[in-house]
Amino acid sequence: MSTTHPTAPQAQMSHRQVLEALSGLLLGLFVAVLSSTVVSNALPRILNDLHGGESAYTWVVTAALLSITAATPLWGKLSDLVSKKLLVQIAMVIYVLSSALAGLSQSIGMLIFCRVLQGIGAGGVIALGQICLAAMVSPRERGRYSGYFGAVFALATIGGPLIGGVIVDTSWLGWRWCFYVGVPFALLAILVLQRTLKLPEQTVRKPKIDYLGAVLITASVSLLMIWISLAGKNYDWVSWQTAVMVLGGLALAGLFVAVEKRAAEPLIPLDLFRHRTVALASVASAFVGVGMYGTTTFLGQYFQLAKEKTPTQAGLLTLPMILGLAVSSTVAGKLITKYGKWKGYLVGGTVLLAVGLGLMGTARADTSYALLALYMAIAGVGLGLTSQNLVLAVQNTVPRHELGAASSVVTFFRTMGGAMGVSALGALLGHKVAAYLAENFAKAGLPAAAGGGDGIPDLSKLPARIVPLVTDAFGHGVGTVFLVAAPFAVVGFLLVLFIREVPLRTAADEKPAAEPVELVAD
């Protein structure tokens, strides 16, 4: 049974009408992305105040990514069953409440819990934005508007670190306003959505939520992330704890697949993976997610702890990467709409992302900013050409009634890859920084305790002779993280090579063009 009924006005929407309908969604997207980027340059200060270390730094970021990972397929499935407009407004309300609570956090544990709630709301806004767009315009026209989504994503990524840095550097505000600042924008987005978002009618069915599937996939990913975060520090990589966590995580993943096969409304419909494009684009998104979230998470730490910059300066210094993302996303979207071709952008984007990350892997504390700016711009262009267009490729493949689930699957894999990637890279960073610090202190004839322990250091409180040893360790450690992330982009490149380009459909309700669909066996 089809869940939507296309109406005549939908096919006749002008560019201006579509933009009016998307205005609230774009504002909501800005707020959702802001929720993660606004804390990036503020985290060293936040964790100093709440007494957190490198593992806490990672978990404040990955907690939100993990909840986005688990919630995105739920939002996508619900969008195929009930009102998309109501769902996106509910997601914004969740964001508002969780942001207010995060600003009141008195401990690392409370902050991480609030970040989980923020991720649930932000995941709904991000996923439903693309889903609502797919319900309004044809795949051919969708490339044009996907470019706007990419530009807004970039704007929020630019604005987030800058806003967060200014807030932290302003004594009468403090880091708690990093969470409060998005609330008025979110409330405005809810009002704008109520007035402007008008979608085609859809048959509303009582949803059957796959709660068990959501719990299993969240537990599986969480267990593996905890293992990655603690291995080599709290216990050996080869140990009984490792065996329990890895086998437990894989067993939970196996149970998840078994549950999905029998669920009335599965969290991730396994039938989607019979489409070659869906399967390849989803896995490619996971590898791209490692590069996307890995760079944005650790760049702020690099500039503050290796380059001795303030949070505000750190935000400004990341502009080349974000501008590269914004320009490439917008230009590619317009070209895709004009010519109907999209695969070349995916191939070129993954190549540039791999090259950019590899070059960023050469970064050290004394690397010139001119070189860093070039490397960041290359990586940013790569991200702009891939992130939105992987969703577009999938939307062009599946029938209309599966748009919500298929779109959210790509986002699910991207955020899951990002969450696990940030967790792994964060653990690697902690190990490398500790090793480089020990090496530097040994050369200087100083005890390791001179660096201030295992927490995030406050350079302004360290003795002058210690600071160069610490900045060198963090510069080398973050550079290693970028270098390790580069091969993931290479795998993404190899995957998109095998995606077959199917001409973009010119009507929103047009049936997908034929493509080889048998990739994954029953």
| 108, 113, 130, 208, 222 from 70: Cα distances, Å | 22, 15, 17, 16, 10
- What tokens were used for 464? 């002058």
What tokens appear for 134 in the block?
């797919």
Tokens of 350: 């993954």
Which token pair is 227?
């293992």
Enter the DSSP assignment of 231.
Answer: B
Residue 505 is predicted with a pLDDT of: 61
Per-domain residue ranges of the chain: 14-210+263-497, 211-262
- Calpha distance 483→211 (Å, rounded): 38
1: exposed, middle or buried (Cβ count in 10 Å: 0-12, 13-18, 19+): exposed
pLDDT tens for the 522 residues of the chain, in order: 334 444 333 445 677 778 887 888 888 888 888 887 788 778 888 888 887 766 787 788 878 877 877 787 778 778 877 788 889 999 999 999 999 999 998 888 899 999 999 989 988 888 888 788 877 877 767 767 777 787 787 677 667 777 888 888 888 888 899 999 889 988 998 988 888 887 766 655 666 777 888 888 878 888 887 787 777 777 787 889 889 999 999 999 999 999 988 887 787 888 888 888 999 999 999 999 888 887 877 888 899 899 999 888 888 898 898 888 888 888 888 888 788 888 999 999 999 999 999 999 999 999 999 999 999 999 999 998 998 788 888 878 887 777 767 777 887 888 788 878 888 888 888 889 988 998 998 888 887 665 555 567 778 888 888 999 999 999 999 999 999 999 999 999 999 999 988 877 665 555 555 444 444 333
How confident is the model over 133-175, as pLDDT tens digits?
Answer: 877 877 767 767 777 787 787 677 667 777 888 888 888 888 8
pLDDT given at position 8: 38
Q: What pLDDT does 476 receive?
A: 95
The candidate with the shortest Cα–Cα distance to 475, out of 485, 467, 486, 464, is: 467
pLDDT value, residue 19 = 81
Residue whose C-alpha is closest to residue 107's, from 149, 59, 168: 59
Contact at 8 Å (CB) between 391 and 504?
no
Helices (H) and strands (E) in the chain, counts: 18, 0
Q: Find the angle CA(506)-CA(8)-CA(133) to the nearest 5 degrees.
A: 55
Burial class (CB in 10 A: 0-12, 13-18, 19+), 243: exposed
Say whether 308 sits in a helix, a strand or coil.
coil
Under 8 Å CB-to-CB from 338, ≥6 apart: which residues?
none
Measure the CA–CA gap between 279 and 409, rounded to whole angstroms: 10
Q: Which candidate, 243, 194, 226, places its Cα nearest to that of 58?
A: 226
Total Cβ atoms within 10 A of residue 430: 20
Query: Do 297 and 418 meet the contact criterion of CB atoms below 8 Å apart?
Result: no
Query: What are the Cα distances from residue 443, in Å, to 252, 364, 432, 469?
Result: 47, 18, 16, 10
List phi, psi (to 5°) of 202: -140, 145
The answer, as to whether pTM is greater than 0.75, is: yes
∠ CA(286), CA(294), CA(496), 5° rounding?
Answer: 30
What's the confidence (pLDDT) of residue 374?
A: 97
- Rounded Cα distance between 151 and 148, Å, is 5
CATH class belonging to 14-210+263-497: mainly alpha
What's the confidence (pLDDT) of residue 368? 95
Q: Is 53 strand, coil or helix?
A: strand
Query: Measured between alpha carbons, how far is 30 from 363 in angstroms, rounded to an integer?
Result: 30
